[in-house]
């Protein structure tokens, strides 16, 4: 089964009519297990509705750092969603696209809230680290986070190695098709820490100028296989095995584990 460890399926609601139905059909046709991350509470509720349409979709809750100022002073409103979400994502810090230091303070407050909850509930976190890679690592150490997926990592390889030592996994997205820096990162990721993603539909928009569709993950896998000088089928197997290893033993993810193993999910 193909793995898209980071998408935002609710984003298809902003595309043309029928875009979401087409995306779910493509997910089913290609067998793509998809973790649909949230940006805030409304997007999480929508992702839950979308997941009810497809056994291939796992909805997870988080507050994206861009939205952190909206929630920094109302964190208790997030408690119920955090408890029910099987993972926590997308959360983190962004000091690259967000230059306002006041917003950085809000990001840190919200990030600390989620990491504390993740540590207490022993949940996987899915991280946004743009321009704040060192700070992110410091927070993971502070809260003793032991299971993390670093989404679309593009920072220094040295810090990536330190994140790896903390137990992090790394997703590779569509930028690998065009960026030599990301291709170098792919070479540096240990084979047992490698995952794939699309960041659909908006992520590919920033790379290619148009929204992505779920089958884009196959292009990512092919490029990863090419870079690592292996076969596409072998890369698919390794990536699937890595996600299963990360999820192993987590009762909240038992259904997702079974779906990945069986490949028998379907759209009703």
Establish if 178 belongs to a structural domain: yes
Establish if 175 belongs to a structural domain: yes
Q: What is the predicted pLDDT for the residue at 268?
A: 32
Q: CA-to-CA distance for 228 and 187, rounded, in angstroms? A: 6
Q: CA-to-CA distance for 185 and 224, rounded, in angstroms? A: 11
**How confident is the model over 215-253, as pLDDT tens digits?**
999 999 999 999 999 999 999 999 999 999 999 999 999
The DSSP bridge pattern shows strands 2-7 and 32-36 to be: parallel
DSSP β-bridge partners for residue 33? 3
Establish if 99 belongs to a structural domain: yes
Q: CA-to-CA distance for 255 and 185, rounded, in angstroms? A: 32
Domain CATH number, residue 192: 3.20.20.140
User: For residue 99, what pLDDT band results from cuts at 50, 70 and 90?
Assistant: confident
Tokens 């979400």 belong to: 85
**Run of H or E including 11:** none
Establish if 10 belongs to a structural domain: yes
Mean per-residue pLDDT of the chain: 95
pLDDT higher than threshold 50 for residue 23: yes
Establish if 203 belongs to a structural domain: yes
For 249, the token pair is 């033993």
Number of domains in the chain: 1
Q: CA-to-CA distance for 211 and 158, rounded, in angstroms? A: 32
Establish if 207 belongs to a structural domain: yes
Q: What is the pTM of this model?
A: 0.96
**How confident is the model over 47-61, as pLDDT tens digits?**
999 999 999 999 999
Q: What is the predicted pLDDT for the residue at 266?
A: 41
Burial class for 33, CB neighbours closer than 10 Å (0-12, 13-18, 19+): buried
Domain housing 171: 2-262
Contact 4, 34 (CB under 8 A): yes
Establish if 118 belongs to a structural domain: yes
Establish if 267 belongs to a structural domain: no
Q: What is the predicted pLDDT for the residue at 2?
A: 98
The three-state (H, E, C) secondary structure of 118-173, written as one string: HHHHCCCEEEECCCCHHHHHHHHHHHCCCCEEECCCCCCHHHHHHHHHCCEEEEEC
């Amino acid at each position: 089964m193909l793995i898209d460890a980071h998408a935002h399926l609710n984003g298809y609601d902003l595309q043309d009519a029928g875009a979401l139905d087409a995306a779910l059909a493509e997910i089913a046709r290609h067998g793509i297990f998809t973790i649909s991350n949230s940006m805030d509470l409304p997007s999480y509720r929508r992702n839950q509705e979308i997941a009810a349409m497809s056994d291939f979709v796992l909805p997870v809750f988080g507050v994206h750092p861009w939205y952190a100022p909206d929630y920094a002073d109302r964190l208790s409103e997030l408690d119920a969603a955090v408890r029910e979400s099987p993972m926590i994502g997308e959360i983190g810090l962004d000091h690259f696209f967000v230059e306002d230091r006041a917003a950085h303070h809000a990001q840190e407050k919200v990030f600390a809230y989620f990491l504390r909850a993740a540590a207490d509930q022993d949940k996987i976190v899915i991280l946004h680290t743009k321009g704040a890679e060192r700070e992110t690592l410091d927070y993971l150490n502070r809260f003793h986070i032991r299971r993390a997926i670093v989404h679309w990592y593009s920072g220094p390889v040295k810090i990536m190695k330190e994140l790896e030592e903390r137990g992090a996994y790394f997703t590779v997205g569509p930028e690998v098709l065009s960026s030599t820096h990301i291709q170098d990162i792919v070479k540096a990721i240990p084979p047992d820490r490698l995952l794939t993603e699309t960041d659909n539909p908006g992520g590919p928009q920033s790379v290619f100028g148009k929204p992505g569709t779920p089958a884009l993950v196959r292009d990512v896998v092919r490029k990863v296989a090419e870079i690592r000088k292996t076969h596409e089928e072998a890369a698919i197997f390794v990536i699937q095995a890595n996600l299963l290893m990360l999820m192993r033993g987590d009762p909240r993810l038992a259904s997702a584990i079974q779906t990945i193993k069986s490949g028998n999910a379907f759209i009703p």
